[in-house]
Amino acid sequence: MSIELRHLRCFLAIAEEGNLTRAAARMHLTQPAVSRTLAALEKHLGARLVDRSTHHFALTPEGRAFHDRAATAVAAFDAAADPERLRHRPLRLGHAWSAFGPYTTPLLRRWQREHPRTPLELLRIDDRTAGLTRGEVDAALLRGPVDTPGLATVQLATEPRIAAVPADSPLAARETLTLADLAPETAILNPVSGTTTLDLWPPDARPSATVTVANTDDWLTAIAAGRGIGVSAASTAEMHPHPDVTYRPLPDAPPVPVLLAWRDAAPHPATEALVALAREISGTG
């Protein structure tokens, strides 16, 4: 068997719909035909791409890697076959939390005004690369270091870190806090998309207890409920205010870099314009 474009499109539909029946409807095929295409791909590649059962459907690690390559290949073909259509397709911009901070609205408004034929869609995806490596977005606003292979990045800004504490905690009464002030507390950590780990504290002065969450909403809820404290970038206070959470400066913690990232291979045609505008708005252009 040789892999053809139709096989890649079918696999992408399966991955994005998360269901063979919906993928078949999207591709205007029968479900058995979609199942045969998936089986043929897996046989050709010598790897299981989808872990599927009656109550479970998810890409395997091999499936996620193949998804990125397939999305790149299809995008490259579409660009070659119909560059005018691709140039004006929506530009999907992912973020895991806080987007571009105070620059979010200026970026969206300027883009709409200057590039009306290419909509900019801002999507929150709870993932370390905000959906970029999975092909769910074309570019992403990320915080913290990014060393994922195949991604290009440009640093747009740095943000100071802040502490997030329960509003009724004695810590909330202070004007500023230090890492040492937070060390006796339970640390609420988001390993899925957050940038804070126990490595932020000195080895001999780290919180002894942690609570793990999967997204910003759960992080805020845990802090508001008094289960512990959190550390984040300054824009979190602006983008995610909460009546039961108090944010305080944390001047002895290192700042967080804010990056714009995109895939090296076959980027969206409007990526260069997005980079230029983001750098201009943030003052790094």
Judged against a pLDDT cut of 90, whether residue 16 lies above it is answered with no
**Mean pLDDT on 147-162:** 92
Judged against a pLDDT cut of 90, whether residue 267 lies above it is answered with no
Q: What is the pLDDT of residues 74-93, one digit of tens each?
A: 877 766 666 555 456 899 99
pLDDT score for 241: 95
pLDDT score for 285: 65
CATH for the 161-254 domain, from 3.40.50.300, 3.40.190.10, 3.60.70.12, 3.40.50.11540: 3.40.190.10
Name which CATH class applies to 84-158+257-282.
Answer: alpha beta
* Largest distance between two CA atoms of the chain: 68
Ramachandran bin of 28, using left for φ above 0, alpha for ψ from -120 to 50, beta for the remaining angles: left
**Mean pLDDT on 218-230:** 97
Other beta carbons within 10 angstroms of residue 160's beta carbon come to: 14
- Return all residues near 174 (Cβ < 8 A) that are at least 6 apart: 181, 248
pLDDT score for 79: 64
Output the six-digit token pair for 113: 């005004």
Judged against a pLDDT cut of 90, whether residue 184 lies above it is answered with yes
- Mean pLDDT taken over the chain: 90
Residue 1: pLDDT band with limits 50, 70, 90: low
- Same-fold call for 84-158+257-282 versus 161-254: yes
Contacts by residues 171-180 (CB-CB < 8 Å, ≥ 24 positions apart): 171/229, 171/246, 171/248, 172/246, 172/248, 174/248, 175/248, 175/249, 176/248, 176/249, 176/250, 176/251, 177/248, 177/249, 177/250, 178/250, 178/251, 178/252, 179/205, 179/250, 179/252, 179/253, 180/205
**Mean pLDDT on 113-142:** 91
Look at residues 170, 207, 173, 204 and name the one whose alpha carbon lies nearest to residue 189.
Answer: 207
**Mean pLDDT on 229-243:** 95
d(CA 43, CA 3): 11
More confident residue, 57 or 157: 157
pLDDT score for 54: 59
Distance of CA 61 to the CA centre of its chain: 18
Residue 284: pLDDT band with limits 50, 70, 90: confident
pLDDT score for 88: 63
- Return all residues near 147 (Cβ < 8 A) that are at least 6 apart: none
- Please state the domain extents for the chain: 5-81, 84-158+257-282, 161-254
Residue 2: pLDDT band with limits 50, 70, 90: confident
Other beta carbons within 10 angstroms of residue 21's beta carbon come to: 11
Please name the helix (run of DSSP H) or strand (run of DSSP E) that holds residue 140, with its range, or none: strand 139-143
Q: Vertex 11, ends 147 and 151: CA angle to 5°?
A: 15
CATH for the 5-81 domain, from 2.70.150.10, 2.60.40.1930, 2.30.40.10, 1.10.10.10: 1.10.10.10
Residue 64: pLDDT band with limits 50, 70, 90: confident
* pTM of the predicted protein model: 0.70
